Structure 1
């Protein structure tokens, strides 16, 4: 995808990770949003510190960009413990996990991002490590294989996943604290933006913060990315101050509309409405119509469109809602009886 398509992507790539690191809150009381999760997590950590024991293992689920990695770093900071970071796809064999676990120090926090993507042998080893702080190292193959028990230092596992349903039940049940990260409302995103603006040295009046926040798809990562793009525009064209008009003009330039839809989102809706009469239409057919891969449409565009009530996924295919017709400034077609409703189409292949 082009850079414009990625401006509202919830994933962070390349140099953006370094920028994110500079904007991350370092303590729990600096973290904006997720009030219930913060309060629950604060109790878990304070209790562990009073008992002088590692806290229960923590699982955080939710969409990308909501702060799961940031909270993992905060957990380690609040405990005064070192932090080890890795990712599920990097742990391909049980030996990879054993190498990490065997070098952990007592009380260390191990963060595994996308934990649902670990290999099955590594998952099975992790069960015992989380419960008994012990792993069995298998030496040899076949009937002559020998399991050598290896004690590991007590540690706290923090797992993050965007797809909690893919976690096997035995692994999910071993987490003592499970938190689900919700999307942010506009007022919370305004707080995120004001904090980031101070760190970036950007003048951001309230109306400018509101304009960016309402286009940020409920995601702090996207809000911070849009802030940096609007800052560039403001420095070059409006004296560095991000007013509401400046923010609106900048985001229009980057093809992010008033509801946070980008070029791909609008292309999907436009094709669905103009070419297929509002649906139902299959994913592959819709993807071809907008010139993208089906996975891109399904993973990047659809979740937000569904959440905004602009698109519905049905057994027969994708269907536009009345809100989609209104958002695109188009009239809902009438059925044969003169009632509002999409006409039947030939493009209802289920996918």
Structure 2
């Protein structure tokens, strides 16, 4: 008998016999090796005082269902508190048998799955990190490529909004705003920034110590945050937030402060507007977009779940904002070049003196109207 018991303990790792009430009548010696308990200290103890609270009801229901089905084996997984206070994951085979005086007993043969569970968790975490890394690289690659291939700012903004919407987990809605205000010292390219208003200009909103109040400097009109690209929002929402006047909502909060704003629980937020609540926003990110030292817009990402974004995703949104800043700078430089060329052609064509350009063979390649008149009058 003693030899059989020794073999049984080594084969099943953990052997438990419970009475009908769930108290220990027997615990194998392997409890000491695996869970840290001497078998004797478990006798007459209630099994469920060692079971994780989240697993108690499920295991209790399993044991109750076996009481009326003696001999039937049921597989159960649960967490058992070790003597050192840590939780061990156990996989068990449970069945009931008639005991002495017809009293049913429960036999549990269990093995420790803790290392396997830890390995599974590590594998899933690595897989998740790899998945997220691939998605993040997709966003950065897509936005960077569009920045370097196009000086069309609207095209870059649309691509950025689309990439973030498809590849950031929890990004249910994405919006990119640029601030517009008449009278700024930064004229914008009308075709890129505001097709409806050729006088639209980029703002000069500074976060320098000289502008401690965060007010728009050198601005003569009423500033508005204007929606330039978006994904995921319903039409009714877009109509309400297409133009956000200063200083409403978390959009302007981010522009004025010049700092990232992350709200993990919008229900407790005092800045989010009514439209944001109605669309179902539970958490959001608002990332400023800068040109040199000036805040010129924001990226807003709304989620329908609380605590939707972590530090890595916030850094990713920041990287996208930096790429958009490059695109805006490229568009600005292209516009400045266009204006410079226009000024050159105006001066060249309207000069009161004759001007011509010739190549190395002394062949005239360009001449203005005045030069044409001079040459014609010479013949």
If the length of structure 2 is used for normalisation, what is the TM-score? 0.24
Largest Rg, 1 or 2: 2
Structure 1 or 2: more strand by fraction: 2
Q: Which has the higher contact order (CA 8 A, sep 6+)?
A: 1
If the length of structure 1 is used for normalisation, what is the TM-score? 0.25
